[in-house]
Amino acid sequence: MSKRIGLLTGGGDCPGLNPAIRGAVIQAMELGYECWGLEEGWKGLIEGNARKLALEDVEGIVGQGGTILGTSRTNPFKKEKGVEKALASMKSLNLYSLIAMGGEDTLGVAQRLYAEHQVKVVGVPKTMDNDLSATDYTFGFDTATSVAVDAAERLIDTGKSHRRVMVLEVMGREAGWVALFTGIASGADYIAIPEKPFDEAEMIEQIKTAYARKKHALVVVSEALKFSKPASNGAAVPDKDDFGHTLLKAQGTGDTLAEMIEKGTGIETRASVIGHIQRGGKPTLFDRILATRVGVKAAQMTHAGQFGRMAAMKGSEITDASLKEAAGTLKKVSADWIYMAQTLSMKREIVSR
């Protein structure tokens, strides 16, 4: 009888999950395994909710957004008897091992199940936030950021027509990668990310200078920007999820910056939040290929018995890294990136002098 691998996708969805599932399942089948899809992340393992995946289930999904398995932010370690139930499902479903696709939360659970309960598990890194350590890129980021760049360029068009300042708020949780890449790739005049202490006066000066030159300006801000005082829109303190992360939806950093800019410059300013639009749609070519490669690698790692590890991209190679390292600390935007982003938005000021 073939050994069974349980596959799951946890945390926020992102484009690339389906190609990763396809890659893992087809490679695993080729190596002689049977694949079972667990529904909605760790929730499916706790509830023993799984179905056998056939070739027909995965062969046509390489270009589809979302995840055919569904997802959730369920943490078995935070549910009553969650771990016991998950271990019982491993037995009742006759699962030899797991392939867990997710970010630091999902992979953090995978790491604990491996280290504390000897569950055979291989990780696949995904997140539109691109903030996972031990891999250079996570799939989902390229698609999400491409959507954000498109939005930014649309805002520039309307900002130019109305001689306005436009503010775009993007996702990214605690890391500023989405805002940084969106801002650089769309030529924003100011980029505000959580890794750089926010300086209102600096932002106002930079916007004034850009506006004086071209009669419009674009600001890209991360949803997780930290203010030294509470948001001026009076948003309530947001709730936390199962992993202790703040649910950022109520914070409104885009609106907050727009208010500050209008007040500080006297220029009409508008804010847009693209939110979950960034997480839907067809994966880009880059994400399809990256997702497929790490999915295939995860099946190969399972066959080689490399448990407690995750497929990872280092340079242009697909290799592996320990789940412990991946789930340890978040990969934040580094000082050299911040310097480059600042240089690029200041450069136009230099040219015009």
Residues that are catalytic: 129
Work out whether 171 is an interface residue with ligand F6P (CB under 6 A).
Answer: yes
Tell me if residue 113 falls in helix, strand or coil. helix
- 10 Å Cβ neighbour count for 231? 16
What are the distances in angstroms from CA 180 to CA 145, 193, 350? 9, 7, 21
Work out whether 17 is an interface residue with ligand F6P (CB under 6 A).
Answer: no
Question: To the nearest whole angstrom, how small is the minimum distance from the Cβ of residue 122 to ligand F6P?
Answer: 21
Cβ proximity to ligand F6P, 40 vs 223, nearer residue:
223
Work out whether 216 is an interface residue with ligand F6P (CB under 6 A).
Answer: no
Work out whether 101 is an interface residue with ligand F6P (CB under 6 A).
Answer: no
Question: To the nearest whole angstrom, how small is the minimum distance from the Cβ of residue 128 to ligand F6P?
Answer: 5
Question: To the nearest whole angstrom, how small is the minimum distance from the Cβ of residue 44 to ligand F6P?
Answer: 17
Asked whether 216 and 166 are in contact (CB, 8 A), the reply is yes
Asked whether 99 and 119 are in contact (CB, 8 A), the reply is no
Using CB under 6 A, count the residues that bind ligand F6P.
Answer: 12
Nearest to 46 by CA among 4, 3, 11, 93: 93
Work out whether 128 is an interface residue with ligand F6P (CB under 6 A).
Answer: yes
Cβ proximity to ligand F6P, 39 vs 189, nearer residue:
39
Q: How far apart are CA 201 and CA 181, in angstroms?
A: 23
- From the list 25-33, 79-87, 166-174, 229-237, the region that binds ligand F6P by CB under 6 A is 166-174
Work out whether 173 is an interface residue with ligand F6P (CB under 6 A).
Answer: yes
Q: How far apart are CA 144 and CA 185, in angstroms?
A: 13
Work out whether 12 is an interface residue with ligand F6P (CB under 6 A).
Answer: yes
Q: 4-9 and 97-102 as β-strands: parallel, antiparallel, unpaired?
A: parallel
Work out whether 248 is an interface residue with ligand F6P (CB under 6 A).
Answer: yes
Nearest to 113 by CA among 103, 100, 94: 100
By CB under 6 A, name the binding residues for ligand F6P: 12, 103, 127-129, 171-173, 223, 248-249, 279
